[in-house]
Structure 1
Amino acid sequence: MLNTSSSIAKQLVVTEILPPYQFYQENTALSGFSVEVMQEIFKITGDEIDLQVFPWARAYKTALNQPNTLIFSLSRTKVRENLFIWGGKLMREDIYAWCLQEKFKTPITDIEQLKKYKLAVTNSSSTAQYFQQEDYPFIYTVVSPEQSLQMLYLNRVDFITGTKSTLVARASKLNLEVSRLKKIIPLSVVNHDLYFAFSLNSDKKIVTKYTNAYKIIEKNGTLDKLRNKWQVQ
């Protein structure tokens, strides 16, 4: 279990709840694929960790502005490339546009066709940044992915985005009928590798220590074992 005591903290780490990568178990312990990868890295670095779980926009803003801040799991996009110091790759996401089964009876074959529909995205997420950059006119930004899912089920928006594993986990948590969800179209333009990364003004020695630790778990097979355990790419 990660040490979250800020009184003895040495390294600030920020994240969000993003099952199956980061989520709370019933006993309130933080678990998931990315959490277990980072735990292995922390064992090697030997640091005490001040882990802060925030809504995504706050975690992202903290990592942008506060020195020596580590953030995970962060999509590595063109927009973000020069905003962070990139550590190690955790996994890759396959993202789709999703609707309710009764919608979109005519197949969508091009992402541009979605411009006439209402979309809910999480504030400061990579998908939000993409659709805003491409001037999609009917975007609703929300604090959490759960809100976007609830808006979809309430017919307040036409589609949302996400991976199958994350949407199934969220729908189950909210007691929503998972079978009502339907993929519209793959969103290859927003498929990105997820990394842990550091704020730009971070100490180079700290960054090197963590990237070296990542190389160790990559080389000794620990990373692949965790990917197999959690069935991520």
Structure 2
Amino acid sequence: MPWIRSHITALLATLLVATYAAATEPPLSLRAVTAENNEPFNIVFNGKLQGLGVDVANEAARRSGFSLQTEALPWARALETARQKPDVLLFTVARTPEREDWFHWIGPIAKREVWLWRLRTRKDVMATSLDQAKQYRVGTSHNDAATEYLLAQGFEQGLNLDITMHDRAIGYKLLASRVDLVPMNPLSIGAFARESGIPLEDLEPQMLLISSGGYYLALNRLSKAETVAKLNAALVEMKADGSLQRLLEKWQPKGSKARSPSSPP
């Protein structure tokens, strides 16, 4: 019947329009915040935000149907922004017991190992346990997960813990023997050395401080469950197809102790 044919034609046209609209609709925007200087995870270089965390977050968002509007902030401000505001993605952040209830955790995207490092010339600094480390002065930065850990283990600011606002200041103090040890992930030690003006070969690990938690993307606890599920599914997919491993290899520091100091070469 003519009216049936016209009805079907109209229905097909409607479906085609809807399909075209869905295909051409721009992705949903998701706000993201990150630290200004946390190489190799995220770093502003030549005015462009880049790094392992940046690449992982962008790819996970793309696969989830989101476009990221990323803002680089001082770390303390980025952390507090994500804690206070739903549907704000934070990266790259260490998962610690103190932070566990703050976020939905997406990851891990990288293994977390933190070692205490000394200058190779400081043979007088011998720390293979926390009790031994407490005899020295450890240089750390404000709002860093390693700082939270050391405070929880009984280190005291002003006594055996020197907390600064920037890693560069820690490096200067290490060179001047105003601090004896610094906590650092092997992935980040090359950037720390370069920024502090210390030859990488002049730094050596003393003891493994932390080997748990991992590095993650994170969303405020009040974020939409659908957003969390989509991003987690995307990261699972990235692990399965090898793209996460390729990004890890891309950002592994060249010529540095990128792997665990205890790992075979």
Give the TM-score normalised by the residue count of structure 2. Answer: 0.76
Partner residue in 2 for 1:75: 94
Determine if contact 2:238/2:244 at 8 Å carries over to the other structure. yes
Q: Give the Cα separation in 2 of the matches to 1:144 and 1:199.
A: 26
Aligned length: 224
Q: Secondary structure at the match of 2:187?
A: helix
Partner residue in 1 for 2:42: 22
Q: Give the Cα separation in 2 of the matches to 1:149 and 1:135.
A: 23
Residue 226 (1) aligns with residue 250 (2) = no
Q: 1:194 aligned to 203, 210, 215, which one?
A: 215
Summarize the alignment of residues 118-137 of structure 1 with structure 2, pairs less than 5 Å apart: 118-137=137-156
Return the structure number with greater relative CO, CA threshold 8 A, min gap 6.
1
Partner residue in 2 for 1:6: none
Q: Give the Cα separation in 1 of the matches to 2:167 and 2:84.
A: 23
Deviation of the 1:110 alpha carbon: 1.3
Q: Give the Cα separation in 2 of the matches to 1:52 and 1:191.
A: 28
Determine if contact 2:126/2:132 at 8 Å carries over to the other structure. no
Summarize the alignment of residues 26-41 of structure 1 with structure 2, pairs less than 5 Å apart: 27-41=46-60
Q: What RMSD in Å do the two structures reach over aligned CA positions?
A: 2.2
Partner residue in 1 for 2:169: 147
Judged with a 3 Å threshold, the aligned counterparts in structure 2 of structure 1 residues 148 and 190 are, in CA distance, closer, same or farther, namely farther
Q: 2:234 aligned to 192, 213, 227, which one?
A: 213
Summarize the alignment of residues 99-114 of structure 1 with structure 2, pairs less than 5 Å apart: 99-105=118-124, 107-114=126-133
Deviation of the 1:229 alpha carbon: 2.8
Q: Give the Cα separation in 1 of the matches to 2:177 and 2:221.
A: 40
Gaps of 5+ in 1: 1-8
Q: Give the Cα separation in 2 of the matches to 1:158 and 1:107.
A: 10
Determine if contact 2:60/2:231 at 8 Å carries over to the other structure. yes
Q: Give the Cα separation in 1 of the matches to 2:62 and 2:125.
A: 52
Deviation of the 1:205 alpha carbon: 1.9
Partner residue in 1 for 2:105: 86
Amino acid at match of 2:231: Y
Deviation of the 1:190 alpha carbon: 5.1
Amino acid at match of 1:129: E
Q: Give the Cα separation in 1 of the matches to 2:236 and 2:207.
A: 35
Q: Give the Cα separation in 2 of the matches to 1:68 and 1:48.
A: 13
Partner residue in 2 for 1:59: 78
Partner residue in 1 for 2:14: none
Partner residue in 2 for 1:184: 206
Identity %: 24
Q: Secondary structure at the match of 1:80?
A: helix
Q: Give the Cα separation in 2 of the matches to 1:99 and 1:139.
A: 15
Deviation of the 1:175 alpha carbon: 3.0
Judged with a 3 Å threshold, the aligned counterparts in structure 2 of structure 1 residues 140 and 173 are, in CA distance, closer, same or farther, namely closer
1:142-186 CA distances to partner (integer Å, 9 max, x unpaired)? 222222222212222111110233121122134333332222212
Determine if contact 1:127/1:190 at 8 Å carries over to the other structure. no
